[in-house]
Structure 1
């Protein structure tokens, strides 16, 4: 049964008491297969100086990252601990990639107008204490997590369901410099640090209109994708295209998930096919294959800015196996979205015995037309 296994050790929290650092996420307690998704009614749109989550424009314009600034909120942990996690330390070195450019992804530096950004989030939430900690799937759709831009102030604003507000500030003190990530603290209106954000630089995901990162708040460790949506008038109505995307995610086995997603569109019909291939961290810093998920029942209505579908899970796995996304940038240049599937960490594999079993996993994807 999904979520019936207990990992070797409970989640390691920072001295502040909330949220794991990046290198502390392999042994996070007893997994759980339960799913949780907040409804749109739970969302709070922040406004006013004490209720506005501001992503300050990066005026230094140093090396270019996928998303200069984004905010999140963290309060007491699910197990009742208070405080804030320090910025995480990187655990992996990205493979060689394209050199940084100085233009940056559109939408995360000053824009000519108030860009309508879209965002999706998926990951896990921790509840309980010690050896009784559990992991559950948590997601937010584009109707729940809102990111906006004010060209007059060059600030970004964000709304996260049911959370208080803060502003982001780059962590230049206790965050270990990383070639692949950039870290930010979240500061509340009283000046207290309440969370952290990690954003992948272009050397890891080299996109122009879409960005990927992760954040920690209230016991959750969540992946996000955000970007500039394609106007409906620019969606192709004929021809075909293939998109190659990177996958990021979390599982109720308390393992990091990575992978690739190929999406094949026939713009003149509802045709959408492809496949997602996943790997999971085995606790040693290595990633092992956990299966292929062909697209089934893929749907892209002609002229639509969005698409969705199901995956065919490996034999013996049941539960939600779905994805949804939308086109980003001019002329549908890029894609971004979220996914959820059941996974199996097989017995007799390279994974420690305590990790082996059937679980749930969820995350996001982002990629470009090839």
Structure 2
């Protein structure tokens, strides 16, 4: 039997297959309210045959927003909208986790309440530009968080986890990759603090550990996952000793008994999968440019437990069916990845209509 189609225990859930839909920003939410679009339920329900869906990055508080038309999970209206989405996925027999994404310095005053300055561990600007409602803007220098502010942000993650469960999600994933706030705290290149959240590796990992602890207190470790992407370098994040840093982080979070570790493959020549897998007892989800053959090989050989697919799932709502009969795949239309409306969102043809 094709191992991609075998069941897999992930925390308290039994996945009906080992194909996971990656979290992908799609920018279809209302830009003012952060309420997911009415099309979002259709989008995820079309892909509910995945063993697990991980949603697009969702901000736990208004200060966590970093891109136009991204959704939140901190208001009553947002929670109500997400209820319709989870219900649509569950009606198809699917499982869906909400990814919590606080972008930290990867934002812009035009995206934040009262044109606030983005926050970060240290006042170090990211290189490049951020996409706003008026087009690309240079990243601004963020405001360094005061020590006494940080527990409040941890509490925002706790409440966001509670809200996600109220909205019907089967679990939550902490986005600790792509140069967003958790990785900004973890990485030496973005964290130059001298308090208990900076300096030593133990201090730089403290924020992630505290956030995950809060999330697991709300949901139980068996409904919480974490995504990391060592040496991805996205949003100009960097660390002096990444192998040591991520080994330490996974060792620190192991006692939380998380449902899974979502490891994104990067261009690094170092094999983080081999380093980290023995340190983590939960399921290992792995993705980044995989095709069916590569995913099958990794799972069959016991290197990973499930394979994560991004743009191929975006363009193929019936990806699992196509994999089952080795059918050709639709080509993703990159011009519509972040555009508003249904084009390139819910109109990719299913196999029987192709």
Structure number with higher relative contact order (C-alpha < 8 Å, ≥ 6 residues apart) = 1
Which of the two has greater strand per residue?
1
- Name the TM-score, length of structure 2 as normaliser: 0.31
- Name the TM-score, length of structure 1 as normaliser: 0.30
